[in-house]
Each structure stands twice: as C-alpha cells, then as structure tokens.
Amino acid sequence: MSDPTDVLIVGAGPVGMLTALALAQTGASVRVLDKEEQIINSPRAAVYFPSTLIILEELGILDELNEIGFRNRDFGTHIPEFDHHSVVTTEPIEGIPYDYQLHAGQHDVARVAMEHARKLGVEVLFGHEVHGYEEYDDRIVVMTSSEEGEQTYEAKWLVGCDGARSTVRKLAGIEFEGHTWPERFVATNVKFPFQELGYEQANFVCDPVNMAVIAQLDRDGLWRCTYMEDSSLPEETYEDRIHQRYEWFMQGRKDYELVSSSPYMLHQRAAETLHKGRVLLAGDAAHATNPCGGLGLTSGVWTGIVLADILGAVLRGEEDEEIFDRFSDERRRVFWEVVTPAATENKRMLQEQDMEQRKKDLASIEALNTDPESGALLMLFAYKVIGDVLREGSRWADADPSDRVAINFKDRKGQIH
C-alpha cells in the first residue's frame, strides 16, 4: 500500500484535475487515479464561459490556456429553413472581468491542470482501474487493478470525478436519478473552413433533422461539429453516417478531413446524493446534462471547485462534515432548477419540429439580434450561467454569514469566510 493521502480522486479529466489542483493549493495531499493510459483527447466540451475563466485564473492557469486556445466574442445562430443567420457579440459589463469565451480542448485544460498539480505534490497514476473499496470511520481504502497487478490506496476521502458512468458512484450504491434522452449525440472534430460558409467561431444550427453545435477548436483550422441522431440506429455504424450528415452541414463540399469522432448518450440525471459516507461526487459523476448550451462542463467544474474548498476546510478542522450534505443539496438544486431547464430549452429550440413554435423562436432570436443590449445580455448569461451555477448566486452566498460557506477565490490557501 502506498502512503495514505488526504484525498483520492478517481478521474483525470478536467473536473478531476482542476479539483485536484484546487485541493493541493489548500495544502491537502492528493492522489489521482484513472483507468486510461493517458489523458484522453476525444471530442468533448471545448468552450469555457467567463464563469469558468474565474476558476482558471484563480488557479493560475488561464494565461497558459489563452496561449493554447483562443478568445471568441461572437455567437452565431443559423436557421437554414428561414434563411436566417444572426450574430451576437459579447460586450463587457461593469464588474465582470472577462468579455470573451475561451475555446480550448478539455484535454488541454486537464493536461495543464495536471502539470501544475504535480508541482504541488499531486500524484497522478494512469492505467489504474478502481474495482472496490472498504470504508472505515476515519479512512477509505480503494482497490485497483493495473499492469502491476492488484494495488490498494488509502485516503481520508474518496472523490468520484469519473464521468456519467462513474464506477465510484456505482460502488457506493448511489442511484443516478433522471432520464436518458431518446437521441444520441455524435461529436466530431474536423478540419474544414466553416467560416467560408458564413459560420462564426461558435454556432447553433436550428433544424428539426440537422440540428448542430459548430465551433472552432484551435487556430489551425480544427472545428467541432456535433449533431444528434436517433439512438435506435446501430451505434457500431455511426461513422458510416457522418459523411451523409456532413453533406448538409458543408453544403455539398468534400474538402474536409475528419480527425476524430465519438458517439454518446444524452443524460439528464443527478446522483441521489453527492455525499455518502467518505465518498463525494463531482462533474458528470454527480450530474450529467445534455450539452446544448455548454452547461455540463461549466456546472461540473463549479461543483468540483466548491467541493475542493469545502473539503479543504473540513480537512483543516474549520468545518464539520455535515457541510457535505448542504453541499449535496445545493448542487443538486442548481442542477435540477437551473441547469436542466436551460439545457432542455436549448435542446428543444435546436430541434423544434412544430412550425408555429419555430416561428416564435425565430421572432425571439431576431428580437435579441436587433436589441442594442444583446451583447451585454449574452455576456451576463455567459458569466452567470443562468445565475445560480456560480456560488455567488447560490443560497449559501445569500444566507446569514454564520450559516454558510462563501468561497474566497482571492485566497487560494482556503480561508473560509
């Protein structure tokens, strides 16, 4: 058995690595386990709202990620059937330090966070698959399999950041409440000059059949084109259908290079609790939403960061463990009352079939496009993410100071206010 740590995190994705870095900056000892052999570069979330940029800056990695990715201020909405194309440009608002979204692959975010975390003593072990744990009053022992055989790791707390299919959540016997949508998302990375067809660097394409989210990923011509298909179609042949769909998105052009692709189911689910014994959950392991509008990674990262500061306070004896139940209740409330309605409405609008409703949606989009304050409104949405996803909009921040935890990101030593 390796030396015990304060925290054992399962999952080396962006949520797991950002949570590990935040915990290490509070002085906690952290080990991260991941069953993959390296950080996976599969098509997933790639746009970070100003709300998330707060985290990246306070963790000390925003400048580095700005160099890797690029800044974007324009968002396009396309409704081909109505020959509609509108653009809203985000504008600065007093009190909001960022007027852009960062486009960067989540593998880059995870990698940069890992590099910084390792400098603080965080151990990251790839190729370690968790298959069980034993829980005691003051610690938890996790069993893993790797090429070296069976190994165990001890920590005071276990944090599952291992995705919607979380092994940690399943081992803890925590139900994943909610539903799975009847459609399948297909995320593709492709080299193609979408701007030549009138696309902005980030776009919604609203269409009953060919809805899509299209966004530029880097400065070298790589783009993300994500669309939906019926989940009753065989998943093993999804790649055969990509080129059929590209025919529509690229208006018949064939000068593209498909780089990678990944199909995945759409969930609208949250764990029945984010805290059970010495097990805690964050990211998609805690709550998974359809990705329309970019609320999945945003809310998942914030859950991890809030957890990191609370867990740091518990480890230092500044908070009782009961705080974890309040944390669980609040993050579940944010997911069901804020994230789910917003993501569900975005999904509806993107694939709406009723013609009268589509005309109403178009009228709303055109009204926003002609509103001189639309850029500021979009900026406010991107920063607040419908308000409550940020801890400033949570009930904790509005409660009496004696009965809440407000996280001070200006003090990464983890002072609790």
Spell out, as residue ranges, where the chain has pLDDT lower than 50: 385-417
- 48, 66 Cβ separation under 8 angstroms: no
> Where are the domain boundaries for CATH 3.30.9.10 in the chain?
182-266
* CA 340 – CA 337 distance, rounded (Å): 6
* Centroid of chain to Cα 251: 31
H-helix or E-strand spanning residue 116 = helix 106-119
C-alpha R_g of the chain: 21
Q: What is the dihedral of CA 390, 395, 396, 400, to 10 degrees?
A: 140
pLDDT for the residue numbered 47: 86
Burial track 212-237 (b if 16+ CB lie within 10 A, e otherwise): bbbbbbbeeebbbbbbbbebeeeeee
Q: Residue 364: exposed, middle, or buried by beta-carbon count in 10 A (0-12, 13-18, 19+)?
A: exposed
Integer Cα distance of 53 and 412 in angstroms: 15
Give the model's pLDDT for residue 371: 67
Residues 283-334: tens digit of each pLDDT: 999 999 998 877 888 889 989 998 998 999 999 998 899 999 989 998 998 8
Lookup result for tokens 């990698």: 111
pLDDT for the residue numbered 370: 72
Distance, in Å, from the CA atom of 370 to the CA atom of 59, rounded to the nearest integer, reads 38
**pLDDT score at 7:** 98
CB atoms within 10 A of CB 147: 7
From-to residues of CATH 3.50.50.60 in the chain = 5-178+268-403
Q: Please, what's the b/e burial string for 14-44 (b: 16 or more CB within 10 A of its CB; e: otherwise)?
A: bbbbbbbbbbbbbebbbbbbbbeeebeeebb
51's enclosing H/E stretch is helix 50-58
As a whole number of angstroms, the distance between CA 184 and CA 190 comes to: 19
For 140, half-sphere exposure in the C-beta direction (CA atoms, 13 angstrom radius) is 22
CATH architecture entry for 182-266: 2-Layer Sandwich (3.30)
C-alpha pair distances (Å), 130 with each of 14, 19, 33, 193: 19, 19, 8, 42
Pairing of strands 30-34, 5-10: parallel
Q: HSE of 215 in the Cβ direction (CA atoms, 13 Å)?
A: 27
CA distance linking residue 308 with residue 314, whole number of Å: 10
CATH number for region 5-178+268-403: 3.50.50.60
Q: pLDDT tens-digit profile of 335-345?
A: 998 889 888 98
Give me the amino acid identity at 405: V
Q: How many CA atoms lie within 13 A of 394 on its CB side?
A: 24
**Sequence letter at residue 266:** L
